[in-house]
Amino acid sequence: MVVKTNKNRMLRQALMAKIAPPTIPGGGTRSTYVTTWDGKPKIGIGVGGIKYNVKIGDPCLGWPETEFLEPGVALMGVDEKPMTGYGDTKPTAEALLKYSCIGNRIVMVNGSGKDAAGVVTGKGGVGGTQRHVLAHFKEADLEKLDVGDKARVESEGVALKVEGFDGRIFNMSPAFLEALEPELDGDILELPVVKEIPIIALGMGVGGGSAETGNWCIQSNPPHLVEQLGIDGLRFGDLVACSDALISYGKGLYKGAITVGVITTGGSDQAGHGPGVLGLAASKKGKIKPRIDTEANLVNYLELEV
């Protein structure tokens, strides 16, 4: 059955952001280096800034010396400072983080790239990415963008509901949800995913933060775990189903629950860390049926130019 939503009563509003500068994972307050799971130093590039050659649809693992790599363009609150500590985020930045939804339109409002159009593709969650909204722009427009340039995010999607679904929808614009071609069988919502991820694979992020801000890591170390779990082929923008995992108002183990999310940030060599999953739909009672589709990636649903 085609789903019915409350999209016609959705609040649409403008949020302001700016392009975030590159930062050291964890804020850079401890050292130039992060320590890998096997005790080696690593610089850990990839957080913040503008990426010219890493985008949605690319592999989320295998980028040398990176930690929590963010594809495309990282945005932050227009009044925010990059080195602000945990708990010190300004209300305007919190609004950007919590009200932005995947599929929201972005327009640059100043700089050489003024009027360039982009789209929200995810959010960060750990390792210095926790205050970033991630965006995709056309390759030709990336060259025009600069750190600090301001952007308007056309927010829509907070409080989105599917009529009859026994669960919760979040971080999705109505248009993005429709692009997934969801189906409802009774109170069970069917959504496309490239893979199912067992709860044992999830690490950093458990218990922390709301579902609208931050992600939950799929552990990518030690290396044999990547092969064992079959996650070596995961890409930025892939949709995945996490079994016995409940990302709803928080993040945690809940037997029988299921959460569908999207890979928004890259791998890590730190213990317990790895590609970040941003929740999109969750049911405590397991009322989500994953539909395996190897092409279940944001590139296809948002019709991104890559």
Report the percentage of the chain scoring pLDDT > 70: 95
CATH class, domain 7-155, is: mainly beta
Report the percentage of the chain scoring pLDDT > 90: 75
* pLDDT tens digits, one per residue of 5-50: 999 999 999 999 999 999 887 555 556 788 899 999 998 999 999 9
Residue type, 31: S
Bridge partners (DSSP) of residue 188 are 185
Average pLDDT, rounded, for the chain? 92
Residue 84 has pLDDT above 60, yes or no: no
The predicted pLDDT at position 29 comes to 53
Domain limits, CATH 2.102.30.10, in the chain: 168-301
Question: How far from each other are the two terminal CA atoms of the chain, in whole angstroms?
Answer: 33
The distance from CA 41 to its chain's CA centroid, rounded to whole angstroms, is 27
Bridge partners (DSSP) of residue 101 are none
Strand spans (E) along the chain: 13-19, 34-35, 41-42, 73-77, 105-108, 117-123, 133-137, 150-155, 168-169, 183-185, 188-193, 195-197, 216-217, 239-247, 251-265, 276-283, 288-292
The predicted pLDDT at position 205 comes to 84
The predicted pLDDT at position 250 comes to 87
In 3D space, the residue among 240, 268, 255 whose CA is nearest the CA of residue 67 turns out to be 268
DSSP one-letter string for 58-79 = SBSS--TTBSS---SEEEEETT
- Give 83's pLDDT tier (boundaries 50, 70, 90): low
Domain limits, CATH 2.40.10.170, in the chain: 7-155
Distance (Å, whole) CA 31 – CA 10: 45
* Torsion on CA atoms 154, 71, 41, 30, rounded to nearest 10: -10
Distance (Å, whole) CA 104 – CA 88: 26
Sign of the CA dihedral with 21 first, then 23, 28, and 32 last = negative
Residue 59 has pLDDT above 90, yes or no: yes
What are the CB-based long-range contacts (under 8 Å, 24+) for 91-95?
Answer: 92/16, 93/131, 94/213, 95/15
The predicted pLDDT at position 1 comes to 64
Kindly report the backbone phi and psi dihedral angles of residue 187, in degrees, each rounded to the nearest multiple of 5, phi listed first.
-110, 15
The predicted pLDDT at position 87 comes to 58
Bridge partners (DSSP) of residue 235 are 59
Structure token pair of residue 256? 């029988």
- Tell me the mean pLDDT in the region 273-297: 96
* pLDDT tens digits, one per residue of 188-232: 999 999 999 999 999 988 886 788 988 999 998 888 888 888 888
Fold of 168-301: tm1086 (SG structure) fold (2.102.30)
- Tell me the mean pLDDT in the region 84-89: 59
Look-up of token digits 């403008």: 14
